Amino acid sequence: MKSTNKLLVLIVVFGLIALAPLLITQESLLNIVIMTLYAALLGQAWNILGGYGGQVSFGHAAYFGTGAYTVAVLQIQFGINPWIGLAVGGFAASAVGAFIGFCTFRYGLRGSYFALVTLAFAEVLRILSNSVDFTGAGVGLLIPLERSAANFQFLTKAGFFWVIWAMTFAAFLTVWKIGNSRFGAQLMAVRDNEDAARALGVDAFRVKMGAIMLSGFFAGLAGVFYAQYFLYLDPYIAYGAAISVESLLVPIIGGMGTLFGPLLGAAALHGLSELSRAVIGDAPGISLVLYGVLLVIMVLFVPRGLAGLSSHLRVGKPATPKTEEGKGHA
């Protein structure tokens, strides 16, 4: 697909999603749409670093949790408006990304070493937030209920919908721009072959730093949204492994390194967990079992994700770009 066409599709898709609050009157149904958009935001954040940059992170909870705690702590301890907390939370998460990126990329950590270090950083933050007072330690933080739009606590789900819709749309537009820019070209070159990229003058360290900071920023926004939507945080919610797993599962299922992958992945995951709830009931942990099964199936049979599936389905066209077979030139 050409990049201008992709942008057009993106605008149309988000335009259609924007009809949801007008068409859906049931709050519980709108909640599913909101949670899907939220998962797509988190997944797209991971996708910037993992999908486009090839740096697989097991610790995106570090950024998510930082965003969530920032908005909550600023509100509770300092009385700062959560809308300001939204911006501060994003940038604080981005700063955490810069720190983790500097510590890992500076020393050339790649692949599973990078993944393990990110996991460790998220765990360190979880333990820290569990032991200091201003994050409420193990008890967690309860954001006081004060329903008003000025306070980022809407009376209806539609208000939350518009916030998450705008943030997710912004993340997707950013990723579209990455796919169509020098930064993105260099990022993907580093992903596919770091030495070859450096030989062509790509500053791999700087490019990866850019990716981890952008990725951290959007994951932080998702964290801020989560805190305002549920008004409760504890170390396991904010910095626990569940968020790290969800943020990587969404783009892996949807298609890593593709613009629409995280949206497809989020829809598939939430569709599946809603379906399981309807069929099996709300047995604790059942959705995690399903996630595991789904991940195995996807990795085995559709390694390129749902976005890669579309090229398989196009009848009469080869799934991979045309090869040089039979074209042998002298």
Partner 1 sequence: MLEINGLCKSFGGLQASQSVTLTVSQGGITSLIGPNGAGKTTLFALITGFHTPDSGTVRFLGEDITGLPPEAIAKRGMIRTFQTVQPFAGQTVRENIAVGAHLKIRGRTEALAKAETVAGLVGLGDRLDMDAGSLTVSGRKRLEVARALATDPKMILFDEVLAGLNPSEIRDVIPVINAIRDAGVTILLIEHVMQAVMSLSDYTWVLNQGAIIAEGPPREVVSNPGVIEAYLGKGMAERIAKREAASA
Of the two residues 20 and 202, which places its CB atom closer to partner 1 in the complex? 202
Of the two residues 10 and 202, which places its CB atom closer to partner 1 in the complex? 202
Min dist CB 4 to partner 1, Å, is 11
Using the Cα atoms of residue 220, residue 45, residue 268 and residue 165 in order, give the sign of their dihedral: positive
Binders of partner 1 among 163-182, rule CB under 8 A? 180-182
Q: Does 132 interact with partner 1 (rule: CB under 8 A)?
A: no
Of the two residues 292 and 318, which places its CB atom closer to partner 1 in the complex? 318
Here's the x/- map for partner 1, 197-236, by CB under 8 A: it reads as xxxxxxxx--------------------------------
Give the end-to-end CA distance of the chain in Å, rounded to a whole number.
Answer: 32
Amino acid residing at 77:
Q
Other beta carbons within 10 Å of 58: 22
Q: Are 55 and 208 in contact (CB under 8 A)?
A: yes
Q: Does 317 interact with partner 1 (rule: CB under 8 A)?
A: no
Min dist CB 305 to partner 1, Å, is 13
Of the two residues 146 and 192, which places its CB atom closer to partner 1 in the complex? 192
Q: Does 324 interact with partner 1 (rule: CB under 8 A)?
A: yes
Q: Does 146 interact with partner 1 (rule: CB under 8 A)?
A: no
Q: Does 281 interact with partner 1 (rule: CB under 8 A)?
A: no
Q: Does 110 interact with partner 1 (rule: CB under 8 A)?
A: no
Of the two residues 26 and 323, which places its CB atom closer to partner 1 in the complex? 323
Here's the x/- map for partner 1, 247-266, by CB under 8 A: it reads as --------------------
Q: Does 130 interact with partner 1 (rule: CB under 8 A)?
A: no
- Cβ neighbors of 172 (< 8 A, separation 6 or more) are 10, 14, 40, 44, 259, 263
Q: Which of 111, 192, 288, 296 binds partner 1 (CB under 8 A)?
A: 192
Residues of this chain that bind partner 1 (CB under 8 A): 180-182, 185-186, 188-189, 192-193, 195-204, 320-324, 328-330
